[in-house]
Structure 1
Amino acid sequence: MTITLITGANKGIGYETAKQLVERGHTVYVGARDTVRGEKAAADLGARFVRLDVTDDASVREALATVGAAEGRLDVLVHNAGILAAGDIDGPGALRAFDTNAVGIVRVTEAALPLLRESSNPTVVTVSSSMGSFWAVTNPERPESGLPLALYAASKAAATMLTVQYAKAHPGIKFNAVEPGATATDMTAAFGIGRPAEQSARVVVRLATLGPDAPTGTLQDENGLLRW
């Protein structure tokens, strides 16, 4: 049985990723800040709920301790929690964006490493974004070049860099970042764009189910490696 933890999994891409992995036989832990929503999502999915706020060190430690006590290991970690940070560009907004989209990855990864080392095929997937790709945002042929989302883009660039650096630091664990595609979620509602979360989740699931000899330290989308 594959043990999987997904952050921000009570809705959107995280929820659909959990659903598809449960269907593949994974024991999935739905990580969510809101206990009521998280427990409902887990019950609907046939998964398990663990309260997890990626911006709170104690919450992260307690969540991973819960998984560890129940399972003794973690096979797959999906960093899905994130915010768009599309409001005013100021210090508090920047701190919130980076705390959720980048520092949260550090908190959860560091807490999860001891459990990941107990797995025979440890895998970490970061739901990043092509908005964090220098290549994409400076390419006039790409839609990213026309989207003014400074804090989101910068924090997702940090998320991808963290993925690469963790891959270098821990060669026994696969770390890959993914651009799931423009998706219709609560985050993108103001833009009125995106495909169903179910489709984008398939891209995440592909990276979450890689074999032991798969690449590590990459940013990928549904077409393969993505320049950044």
Structure 2
Amino acid sequence: MKKALITGANKGIGLEVARQLLQKGYYVYLGSRNLKNGEIAVESLKGEGLTNAEAVELDVTSQNSVNSARIEIEKKTDVLDVLINNAGINGVKFDGNTPIMHTATDTSVAVFKEVYEVNVYGVIRTTQAFLDLLKKSSAPRIVMVSSSQGSLALHSDPTFIHYKFKGAVYQSSKSALNMYTIVLAYELRDFPFKVNAVSPGSTKTDFNHHLGAGSVEVAGNRIVKYALIGKDGPTGKFFSEDMQTETGEIPW
């Protein structure tokens, strides 16, 4: 049975990805910053008959927590087939249902640090901690949950549908994540890894005060697709299937 680890998997898109991988026959470790919340999520899945799930306490902002999760998972398996770096925050405050976007001119460095700690450094910590277990898989897959909002090419194009929706912090964190994805895929090119960045699209979850347009089922399916790609599939690419390009690939 193949095994997958998902960060931030106790709710939203992460939980839906866990559900779909379980339905595909995977054993899934649900990483959750709060272990109790993870255990509640696991119980909900078991209530659906999806029993091969287990909660793991995993706070991506803490190296000690990541290391502890690594030790706990290695007690149960010496191989990891899929890592989905899903945990993320936007750091945005809301005025009612209106997001207050971070500006480049006056947003403090502290806000940048808070968001980057999860969206960038947390991904690096987790990926590096589990890389050796992934290398033992015959077909290791890493999916970085990114956003089309992190595309430099799109955000410099005035015809882009979200061109005027600018935010200095969240968007730049995803741009940094994208570059890490490119470099990681390149460094792992001589192994059977597939490493890709995937935007799930605008999705109605707690992440955005449920203001997104799409469902978690659709978003989860977009991520799972790249967790399951075959040996001839892409690596080092950026996908956002809601952009309706021919292949789903979008520019960096």
TM value normalised by structure 1:
0.96
Task: Using the TM superposition, name which of 82-91 and 92-101 deviates more.
Answer: 82-91
Amino acid of the residue matched to residue 138 of structure 1? Answer: S
Tell me if structure 2 keeps the 8 A contact 1:52–1:63.
yes
Greater Rg over alpha carbons, structure: 2
Tell me if structure 2 keeps the 8 A contact 1:129–1:179.
yes
1:176 aligned to which of 174, 192, 196: 196
Amino acid of the residue matched to residue 227 of structure 1? Answer: P
Distance (Å, rounded) in 1 between the aligned partners of 2:78 and 2:168: 40
Deviation readout 1:152-198 (Å, 9 max, x if unpaired): 000000111111100011121211000111101111117x2321111
Is 1:212 aligned to residue 235 of structure 2?
no
Distance (Å, rounded) in 2 between the aligned partners of 1:103 and 1:63: 16
Partner of 1:225: 249
Partner of 2:124: 106
Is 1:186 aligned to residue 196 of structure 2?
no
Amino acid of the residue matched to residue 39 of structure 1? Answer: E
Distance (Å, rounded) in 2 between the aligned partners of 1:59 and 1:68: 14
Runs of 4+ in 1 over 4 A off after TM superposition: none
Amino acid of the residue matched to residue 14 of structure 2? Answer: G
Number of residues of Structure 1 aligned to a counterpart in Structure 2: 227
Shift of 1:97: 0.8
Task: Using the TM superposition, name which of 208-217 and 80-89 deviates more.
Answer: 80-89
Partner of 1:14: 14
The CA RMSD over aligned residues, in Å, is: 1.3
Deviation readout 1:21-47 (Å, 9 max, x if unpaired): 000000000001011111111122231
Task: Indicate the percent of aligned positions where both proteins have the same amino acid.
Answer: 39
Partner of 1:61: 67
Whichever structure has more helix as a proportion of its residues is: 1
TM value normalised by structure 2:
0.87
Shift of 1:213: 2.5
Give 1:1-228 correspondences, 5 Å limit.
1-45=1-45, 46=51, 47-87=53-93, 89-171=107-189, 172=191, 173-189=193-209, 192-222=211-241, 223=244, 224-228=248-252
Q: Give the unaligned 5+ runs of structure 2.
A: 46-50, 94-101
Amino acid of the residue matched to residue 208 of structure 2? Answer: T
Distance (Å, rounded) in 1 between the aligned partners of 2:153 and 2:56: 37
Amino acid of the residue matched to residue 36 of structure 1? Answer: K
Amino acid of the residue matched to residue 92 of structure 1? Answer: A
Distance (Å, rounded) in 2 between the aligned partners of 1:60 and 1:11: 19
Distance (Å, rounded) in 2 between the aligned partners of 1:18 and 1:193: 20
Distance (Å, rounded) in 2 between the aligned partners of 1:37 and 1:143: 36
